Amino acid sequence: MPRPRKFPDKGVIITAYVPRELYEKVRELAKSRGTSISEVVNDLIKKGLEGAGSDIVAMATDSPDPPGDTFQEAIKGLEPLERERVLQFLKELDDVEAKLAKLRSNTPKKASILRNTLQDYMMSQEVVELKATVNRLKHTYEKVIKKTVRNSVVLNMVGERLLRLMKELGVPA
């Protein structure tokens, strides 16, 4: 005798383009609960739909925050999809800033001319790569972030950080 249908009324398959981090989280949840990925997703979507009616912002800001941290509050107030995009963008900005700081600290020490030239060459290569990354980030900011995020506080903060990097690396606005 075949097993009964999972959804007696009717089941359908939808395809979603999901960020890898989210997929990994869902997979881990399914593993820890001993269920299938679809079941976990089903559960999350139902919870999400239930939560959509309630004030999610109020829920997210339940925990006490340091006063004056308007950026964090603004981030919390974003729609989850917007927030995920902004957070990924911020991570990339962090990466570039960290690489730039590392480059700044790697000032050539007194050594042979050959070593200095090699170091200069390596650094210029890294700067070129960083410039390309910042250019791509600028493109993403204009085409994705600006279009999806409507919160002016978040847009300003993200934009300012990007502008600072662009100025430092000499990327045209």
* 126 near other proteins (CB under 8 A): no
Q: Applying CB under 8 A, what is the total number of residues that bind other proteins?
A: 54
Among 47, 102, 104, 164, binds other proteins (CB under 8 A): 47
Residue among 161, 48, 4, 146 at smallest CA distance from 97:
161
d(CA 28, CA 34): 10
* CB-CB contact of 86 with 158 (8 Å): yes
**Nearer to other proteins among residue 42 and residue 119 (C-beta):** 42
Tokens for 38, please give them. Answer: 């679809």
22-41 residues in contact with other proteins (CB under 8 A) are 22-23, 25-26, 37-38, 41
Nearest distance, CB of residue 156 and other proteins, angstroms: 21
Give the chain's length.
173
* 99 near other proteins (CB under 8 A): no
59-88 residues in contact with other proteins (CB under 8 A) are 59-60, 62-63, 79-81, 83-84, 88
* CB-CB contact of 158 with 93 (8 Å): yes
